[in-house]
Structures are given as C-alpha cells and as structure tokens.
Structure 1
Amino acid sequence: MLGVIRARTWLRYSEPLLQPWKEIETVLTDVKADDVKVIPVPKHCDWADFMVLATGRSTWHVKNIAQALIYKAKQKQRGVERMMLPSVEGQAGGKWIVIDSGKVIVHALDEKARAYYNLEGLWTPGGIQNEHDEDLQKALVKVRRKNNSKKPAQKNA
C-alpha cells in the first residue's frame, strides 16, 4: 500500500503546477501584462519545456503579475498538494521576478530590465542581434595605446 501512495505522490509532483498555455495566458491577459513571448527551451535542457516572458509597466505591476500566477497555482491545489507551490525569486525588488512552476518558467520584468537582460537574445536559436554589440566589444577588448612620447625608453641596467 505504501508503494502505491509513493507512486501517486511522485506522479502528482511531476505535473506542472500551472497548465502551460491556457492558464498562464489567461492570467497574463487578466493582469494586462505587455509583450508576452513564449520561448521553447532547447532540448538539451531537461529542467523546463519553455519560458514565458512578460513585461510590467512598473515594479508594482511586475509584482502583481507574479502574485496572480502564484494565486492561480494555489487555487488548483487542495490539501496536501498545497505544499507544492511554485518557486519564486526576486519578489523583494520587483524589477525581475522568476516563477518556476515545474516545466514552465515565467519571467516577469519591468521594461528597463527586459531591455537590459535581453533574455530573448540569450534563449532564441541564433539569438537576436543587439544593436549595442559593437559597443560591448569595444568595452571588453583592451585597446593598447601607442607610446607617442618623445622620450626614449629607459634601459634597466
């Protein structure tokens, strides 16, 4: 009997806490999240099937997006299952909040953080070309200055 209970518990935990398309889409539409994008995670990453990116207009809006998703996950669970809530990071700051609900990872970011971190460029195949790539390369490459001084080099004796 104990083996059956453990098997059921394992099956229950392996299911995502939020159903990927229907529930997340409705919650994000209800809280009026901007620029929602779904990015499939490459097959070599077994920790998630896809990521959802949503933009909030302010830190309060980003926190509201995260709270709405957590509330929806709580509504689905009953009794002992309530212990399996999504993992949430970044709620204190409110600029970038990550909700990990199993096979779906939701990133709620404000506009500046979304532009700065460019998660679409990191996770899409081939990446999105950033217009600041040249500036970044110049900043990372150490440029040696020529020695234009008229003084001859000193010889160490």
Structure 2
Amino acid sequence: MALSSSVLRATDPDEVDALHQLVLASLDDDQAVDTISIPLAGKSSIADHMVIASGRSTRQVASMASKLAEKIKGELGRTTRIEGLPTADWVLIDAGDVIVHLFRPEVRSFYNLERMWAFGDAPPAEAPAEPTPARDA
C-alpha cells in the first residue's frame, strides 16, 4: 500500500494529540487487538504517529476502519483517505498526522510493520559472551 500525502497535516501539537487520542480510543472501543503506536515525529515526514492494530476478522477490520473515519470527520472535521476497505485484510487510514494500519492477524504477521518501523528503538540482540582467558595461578 502506498501513502500519498493528500490529507492535510496540522501544525498545532494539541490538534495532533487530539487526533492520536481519538484513534486510540476508537480502536479500544471497537476491541482492536494488539494496538501499538509508533512515534514518527522527527523520524519521518509522512506523519507524527503510526498506529497498528488487528481485528479478528475482515468484518471487524472493515467496521473499525469505517467507524474511525466517521469519528475523525464528525469530531475533528478532518477528512481521511482509506485504502483496502473492500477486502479488509489490510486497511490503511491516512488521517494526515496519524497513519492507521488495521490488519487481520495473519496479514499483520506477514508484513510485520512494527519491525520495519522500529528505527532501532528495539533493544539490540545480545552478543554472545566472549570466553574469558584462563589465568595462570
């Protein structure tokens, strides 16, 4: 899925925060599974936050996406772009400052966006311990 930044972005940090909180609350209300938010501010120009969540079925994914777009329009007066709604395996909602990816679990596991967008924030894998040289007594 490609992002095309045709959705306007806010310059007011409070507006960005309100949008981010609305997204998280809506997904929580709709019982999204494994919701995570990745901060992008200062790391990417596409958005300030990326939210990734799963639904248990294509029906739930489609419902969550539709409700979220309606809430953003109704409560904040912002338009969104939605891609992937007809099949609802992976639905992308571009709300400008917040990009939302909704997946069925198998599709989410396959694409593993969390790992791709980690920016090295994840703790590094531990290196194997070096053997200690034996000392002469």
- TM-score norm. by structure 1 comes to 0.63
Q: Which residue in the other structure is 1:90 paired with? A: 84
Q: Which residue in the other structure is 1:41 paired with? A: 40
Give the CA deviation at 1:42. 6.2
After superposition, what is the alpha-carbon deviation per residue over 1:29-75, rounded to whole angstroms, capped at 9, x for unaligned?
11000000001126242121110001000000100110111110121
Q: CA–CA distance in 2 between the matches of 1:93 and 1:23? A: 25
Q: Which has the higher contact order (CA 8 A, sep 6+)?
A: 2
Give the CA deviation at 1:25. 1.7
**CA distance 1:17–1:41, change in 2 (3 Å):** closer
Unaligned runs of at least 5 residues, structure 2: 1-7, 123-137
**CA distance 1:25–1:42, change in 2 (3 Å):** closer
1:104 equivalent to 2:103? Answer no
**CA distance 1:69–1:17, change in 2 (3 Å):** farther
Q: Which residue in the other structure is 2:53 paired with? A: 54
Q: Which residue in the other structure is 2:62 paired with? A: 63
Decide which of 121, 135, 150 is 2:115's aligned counterpart. Answer: 121
Unaligned runs of at least 5 residues, structure 1: 1-12, 129-157
Give the CA deviation at 1:99. 0.3
Larger radius of gyration between Structure 1 and Structure 2: 1
1:121 partner SS? helix
Q: Which runs of 4+ in 1 moved over 3 A?
A: none
Calculate percent identity across the aligned residue pairs.
Answer: 33
Q: Which residue in the other structure is 2:71 paired with? A: 72
- TM-score norm. by structure 2 comes to 0.72
Instruction: Say which structure is richer in helix.
Output: 1
